[in-house]
Amino acid sequence: MPTPPITRTTLAAALLAVVLLTVAAALAVPPPHPAPARAACTGRVPTGWSADPGPTAAFARYGDDNSRTDDWTGGDGTHSVRLPDGRTLWLFSDTFLDRIHPPPGPRGGPYRWRTTATGGTPYLRHNSLVVMSPAGVPERTLTGGTPAAPGPFFPDPPGGGWRWPVHAAVEPRAPGSAERVVRVLLWIRAPGTGPWAFGTPRGTEVATLSLPALHLESITPVAPQGATDPARRVLYGAALVRDGGWTYVFGGDDPPSTPADSAYLARAPAGRLADAAAWRFRDGARWQPDAGRAAPVLRGGGRRGVGSAFTVARAGRTWVLLTMDTPAGGAAGLRTLTGYWSCTPQGPWHGPAGRITPPRPAGPDPAHVAVYNPQAHPEFTTGAGLLVSYDVNWLGPPGAPADPVVNGDVELYRPRFLRLRFAPARP
């Protein structure tokens, strides 16, 4: 039987049938589940804590080990970065390299104390690195110099002063590269007096370390500001947070006339921390390449502001900043932590709210034992809360030397750890 010719009428009928079948099939398929909504940004306030004895004891055991006298027995700064092979690199500022002795100490007290192997004043170097195994055991101290005369891992800069390492991140060696390196933010400080008794701020640098060997390859200046007045210089690296395609770097100034510092913000594309030309600075309204025009994202004044060392972490979509509460004067004010929160790194920042008073070692003079430098370690955070370290030191009456006290009690000048809990901020 011959095939009938295709006419406009039959073609239109066929097309209508296809459309009707497509619509029927679409109606028969249940609609896809809607994408889950992202958690809203809500205020978060630190409300409670519990001591975490694990890392505290791990560093105490490592510091007490006398098998070597050129390794870490105490330090402050206490920043960390997880390496690709599961190790953790800990970065310390001023570091004791020495031997631990049982009591009685140099002042006759019932405390373990520090000296060199020959009984002299313990080595104090401006920085060191400690490598922790994937199992959480500190295993090796990295310093500069030689075993007989260890020096800082990051050598002192030309023209005097010293380098303090702050935050670090693992990045591609170059954008798109499969090879990874460690970038370390460094603060340059120089000897100072008065309000800058712990060093006059000079500038910020980025060091590059190889992986997995952790060799120091280069040090590059970043965030040039040109300010001759130290009170106007901002040191970047107090906190570092990766978010999307950006690495956000928080910094602070160090004005002598206010009880608290102001916080500033810079950012660089992920993988370009060592590229000074890639940095951009928040000027209050936009991002721009001129570091000298940066404006505070959290301005100090009254109870508001940050300490010279603070930390920032993410809690869902909320940004949380932790700092020492505004000092009341001397060591008496270095007791409590407080917090701020924001929905974006540039603010607005709400707070301060919440007060946490972490435990301190008794020490030979407990009235002058200070708590400072809270630092978040998100790579160790679990359901028990955000892991936060803090440093302890002795800040005695004006003019009193700290060395005999700190050297005479190894519980001082070592990091301690706690798990911090948060609750919704009150409306």
22, part of any domain: no
pLDDT, tens digit only, all 427 positions of the chain: 444 444 444 434 443 343 333 434 433 444 444 444 456 898 999 999 999 999 999 999 999 999 888 899 999 999 999 999 999 999 999 999 989 988 877 666 777 888 887 778 888 999 999 999 999 999 999 999 887 788 999 999 998 899 999 999 999 999 889 999 999 999 999 988 767 777 889 999 999 999 999 999 999 999 998 778 888 899 999 999 999 899 999 999 987 766 678 999 999 999 999 999 999 999 999 999 999 999 999 998 877 899 888 999 998 889 999 999 865 444 445 788 999 999 999 999 999 999 899 998 876 677 788 899 999 999 998 888 999 999 999 887 766 667 778 888 899 999 999 999 999 987 6
Range of the domain at 133: 39-424
398, part of any domain: yes
Determine the distance from the C-alpha atom of residue 80 to the mean position of all C-alpha atoms in its chain, rounded to a whole number: 7
User: Token pair of 183, please?
Assistant: 């970038």
91, part of any domain: yes
Report the C-alpha gap between 72 and 111 in whole angstroms.
18
90 - beta bridge partners? 80, 130
User: Token pair of 235, please?
Assistant: 């040191």
pLDDT at 149: 84
1, part of any domain: no
How many CB atoms neighbour CB 120 within 10 A?
9
Amino acid letter, residue 111: Y
pLDDT at 363: 67
Report the C-alpha gap between 392 and 17 in whole angstroms.
80
pLDDT at 364: 66
66, part of any domain: yes
Beta strands in 112-154, from DSSP E residues, in sequence order = 113-115, 123-125, 128-132, 138-142, 144-145, 150-151
Report the C-alpha gap between 189 and 361 in whole angstroms.
29
User: Token pair of 352, please?
Assistant: 């301060």
24, part of any domain: no
Please name the residues in contact with 257: beta carbons below 8 A apart, sequence gap of 6 or more: 231
Q: What is the CATH number of the domain that holds 218?
A: 2.115.10.20
DSSP for residue 335:
T
Amino acid letter, residue 228: T
pLDDT at 421: 92
152, part of any domain: yes
Amino acid letter, residue 30: P
DSSP for residue 365:
S
Give the CA radius of gyration of the chain.
Answer: 27
Look at the pTM and tell me if it is higher than 0.95.
no
Helix (H, G, I), strand (E, B) or coil at 245: coil
Report the C-alpha gap between 112 and 101 in whole angstroms.
6
292, part of any domain: yes
Report the C-alpha gap between 241 and 237 in whole angstroms.
10
The total number of residues written for the chain in this structure: 427
Report the C-alpha gap between 76 and 401 in whole angstroms.
18
pLDDT at 84: 97
DSSP for residue 54:
H
Q: Are 169 and 271 in contact (CB under 8 A)?
A: no
pLDDT at 30: 44
pLDDT at 300: 87
Total structural domains in the chain? 1
User: Token pair of 81, please?
Assistant: 């970065």
Burial class (CB within 10 angstroms; exposed 0-12, middle 13-18, buried 19+) of 168:
buried
Report the C-alpha gap between 83 and 73 in whole angstroms.
23
Residue with tokens 């330090």: 75
| Omega within 30 of 0 (cis) for the link into 157 | no
